[in-house]
């Protein structure tokens, strides 16, 4: 291990025999539960920082939420506050991270590691009604003092950016800093890099119970054996609620379903991320009802992605044609020229959210040794590098660049009524 580490902090695992687990198969400093992009970013940040890390994953890498979104790196949908600060930090990190990953992983793979397709394409938020235009202007005015570049365009400026856009535009605001990344490639790259820094990834391993030692969480029991660790980071996205409950300190993370349509290749029709202004309202809403607010964008492969619905239907993944209908209606409102374009598939996933709609990053006050990294809702891809950095800063005893209190599991209101059961176990 590098000698730059802080001297024997609490997470440093010197444990060779765990009382509850007895003869653990694997002993590491940190076990990360979940191989989605947040778990991958956390694992890499910890491994680069010198920690011995193992990632345990019930299914496969990027097999849940990370593999079922668009890959948004957005500032346009965030008002001033802690999440915007995290998004801005993530935007600082992404370009260098993508370069580092590409460099690290280039060797030994003909044709290179799959491209992360990091594209600073910019976003265009469009209101088609007078009321929507007012709301959009007001929102953009609150963002600018917080450092968001938000440029209102006239009709010519809008047409120059998106020639196929409907002429019925009441207001359009350009956000040059919005970007896109291929989320599965990014997750795999972060994991591959973490492995190069000594981490290991155990897939097909479901967490079943905690390993406890002296009132601390000291590892996890999985279907593929025990892993003893000085700290456990639960980064299981919408399944973090269930995993943390199994570990003895439930966190109320809820799934919110989102569905995306994919068209056949249609190059040069849509150039940026184009949103209906309603998107901003839907993301921050707590309503259970189906909401759709249109997001239309092209991928590097030439397909057009149309999102995104948001429903609270538990983990129900069954198809509802009405969701597809409303997504299509929204897309045609923005781009009438897409009417004849074939949709060749749809996919959907579950975004993790907590009632106050802020990511949860930090140690659980109820059970020492239990850390959370979840609650990013639809923004986890973009926020992953900043999340990994923040969690590693806290766990490795470094001074975080973000206001950690805002994301702490101990923040006001988050754990009310959710008592830990582990202490009694």
Partner 1 sequence: MPEVASTKDHDDSANDGVVVVGGGPAGLAAATAARRAGARVVLVEAGDDVGGQYWRHLPPQRPARDEGQLHHGWSRFTEMRRSLLADEGCEVLTGASVWAVEARAPHLPGDAPVLRVVLAPIGGADAAQREHRLLRPGALVVATGAHDLTLPFPGWDLPGVVTGGAAQAFAKSERLAVGERVVVAGAGPFLLPVASSLLSTGATVLEVCEAAGPAQLARGWGSHPARLLAGPRVMAAKTAELAGYAAALLRERVPYRTATGVVAARGEGRLEEVVLARLAPDWSPVPGTERVVAADALAVSHGFTPRLEVALAAGCALREDGFVAVDDRGATSVPGVWAAGEVTGIGGADLAQVEGELAGLAAAGAVAHPGTHEASQRLSQQLSQQVSRLLDRRRTLEAFAGRLAAAHAPRAGWLAQVTDDTTVCRCEEVTAGRLRAVAAATASTADTPAGARSLRLTTRAGLGVCQGRICGHAVDAVLGRTSVGRGAGSGVGPVSHQRRPIAVPVRLGELAALPAPDHQTSDHQTADHQTADHQTSDHQTPDLTDSEEPRS
Residues in contact with partner 1 by the rule CB under 8 A: 35, 57, 59-63, 67, 105, 108-111, 113-114, 182, 184-185, 187-188, 191-192, 195, 201-204, 261, 263-265, 301, 306, 318-322, 324-325, 327-329, 331-332, 336, 338-348
End-to-end CA distance of the chain: 34
CB of 184 to partner 1, least distance (A): 4
Nearest distance from C-beta of residue 289 to partner 1, angstroms = 13
Cβ distance to partner 1 smaller for residue 10 or 60: 60
Nearest residue (CB) to partner 1, 15 versus 116: 116
Task: State in angstroms the smallest separation of the CB of 2 from partner 1.
Answer: 24
CA dist., res. 239 & res. 246, Å (int):
11
Which residue from 408, 396, 379 is spatially nearest to 89, judged by alpha carbons?
A: 379
Reference 181, options 255, 114, 280; nearest CA is 114
- In terms of Cβ atoms closer than 10 Å to its own Cβ (0-12, 13-18, 19+), residue 117 is middle
CB of 85 to partner 1, least distance (A): 30
Contact (CB, 8 A) for 354 and 58: no
Q: CB of 6: closest distance to partner 1 in angstroms?
A: 30
Least distance (Å) between residue 202 CB and partner 1: 8
Q: Which is nearer to partner 1, 33 or 184 (CB)?
A: 184
Least separation in angstroms between CB 111 and partner 1: 6
Which residue lies nearer to partner 1 by CB, 145 or 340? 340
| H or E segment and range at residue 221 | strand 216-222
| Nearest-approach distance from CB 113 to partner 1, in angstroms | 6
Q: How far is the CB of 314 from partner 1 (least distance, A)?
A: 14
DSSP 117-143: --B---EEEEE-SHHHHHHHHHHHHHH
Please, what is the minimum distance in Å from the beta carbon of residue 221 to partner 1? 18
d(CA 192, CA 151): 38
Residue 325: its H or E element:
helix 321-334
Residue 202 or 245 having the CB closest to partner 1:
202
Q: How far is CA 200 from CA 56, 65, 160, in A?
A: 9, 21, 48
| 240 vs 263, beta carbon nearer partner 1 | 263
Looking at beta carbons only, is 338 or 420 nearer to partner 1? Answer: 338
β-strand partners of 298: 304
Nearer to partner 1 (CB atom), residue 208 or residue 223: 223
Q: How many whole angstroms separate alpha carbon 293 and alpha carbon 157?
A: 23
Q: How far is the CB of 236 from partner 1 (least distance, A)?
A: 16
How far apart, in whole angstroms, are the C-alpha atoms of residue 122 and residue 343? 24
CB closer to partner 1, 315 vs 347: 347
Whose structure tokens read 């990091």?
A: 118
In the three-class reduction of DSSP (H, G, I as helix; E, B as strand; rest coil), residue 260 is classed as: strand
Give the integer Cα–Cα distance in Å for 66 and 189: 13
Pick the closer one to partner 1 by CB: 266 or 418: 266
Token code pair at residue 139: 């929102």
Of the two residues 35 and 233, which places its CB atom closer to partner 1 in the complex? 35
Q: Which two tokens stand for residue 232?
A: 């456990």
Strands (E), 70-122: 72-73
What are the residues facing 203 on neighbouring strands? 57
Q: Show Cβ contacts of residue 171 under 8 Å, excluding neighbours closer than 6 positions.
A: 126, 127, 132, 133, 136, 137, 152, 277
């Amino acid at each position: 291990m590098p000698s730059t580490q802080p001297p024997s902090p609490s997470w440093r695992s010197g444990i060779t025999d765990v009382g509850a687990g007895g003869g653990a198969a694997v002993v590491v400093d940190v076990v990360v539960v979940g191989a989605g992009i947040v778990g991958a970013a956390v694992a890499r940040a910890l491994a680069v920082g010198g920690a011995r890390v193992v990632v345990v994953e019930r299914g496969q890498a990027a097999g849940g939420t990370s593999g079922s979104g668009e890959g948004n790196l957005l500032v346009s949908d965030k008002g001033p506050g802690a999440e915007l600060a995290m998004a801005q930090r993530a935007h600082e990190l992404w370009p260098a991270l993508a370069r580092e990953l590409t460099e690290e992983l280039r060797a030994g793979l003909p044709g290179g590691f799959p491209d992360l397709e990091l594209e600073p394409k910019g976003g265009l938020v469009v209101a088609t009604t007078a009321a929507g235009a007012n709301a959009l202007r007001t929102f953009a005015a609150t963002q600018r003092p917080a450092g968001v570049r938000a440029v209102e365009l006239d009709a010519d400026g809008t047409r120059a950016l998106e020639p196929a856009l409907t002429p019925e535009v009441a207001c359009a605001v350009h956000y040059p800093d919005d970007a896109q990344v291929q989320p599965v490639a990014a997750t795999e790259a972060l994991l591959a890099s973490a492995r190069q820094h000594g981490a290991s990834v155990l897939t097909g391993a479901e967490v079943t119970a905690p390993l406890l030692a002296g009132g601390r969480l000291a590892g996890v029991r999985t279907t593929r054996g025990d892993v003893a660790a000085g700290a456990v980071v639960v980064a299981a996205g919408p399944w973090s609620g269930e995993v943390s409950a199994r570990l003895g300190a439930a966190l109320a993370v809820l799934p919110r379903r989102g569905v995306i349509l994919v068209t056949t290749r249609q190059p040069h029709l849509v150039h940026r991320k184009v949103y209906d202004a309603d998107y901003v309202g839907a993301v921050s809403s707590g309503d259970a009802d189906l909401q759709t607010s249109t997001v239309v964008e092209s991928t590097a492969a030439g397909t057009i992605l149309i999102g995104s619905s948001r429903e609270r239907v538990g983990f129900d993944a069954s198809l509802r044609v009405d969701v597809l209908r409303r997504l299509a209606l929204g897309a045609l409102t923005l781009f009438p020229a897409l009417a004849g374009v074939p949709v060749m598939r749809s996919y959907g996933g579950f975004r993790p959210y907590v009632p106050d709609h802020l990511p949860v990053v930090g140690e659980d006050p109820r059970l020492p040794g239990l850390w959370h990294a979840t609650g990013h809702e639809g923004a986890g891809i973009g926020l992953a590098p900043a999340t990994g950095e923040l969690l590693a800063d806290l766990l490795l005893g470094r001074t975080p660049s973000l206001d950690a209190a805002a994301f702490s599991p101990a923040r006001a209101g988050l754990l009310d009524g959710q008592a830990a059961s582990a202490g009694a176990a």
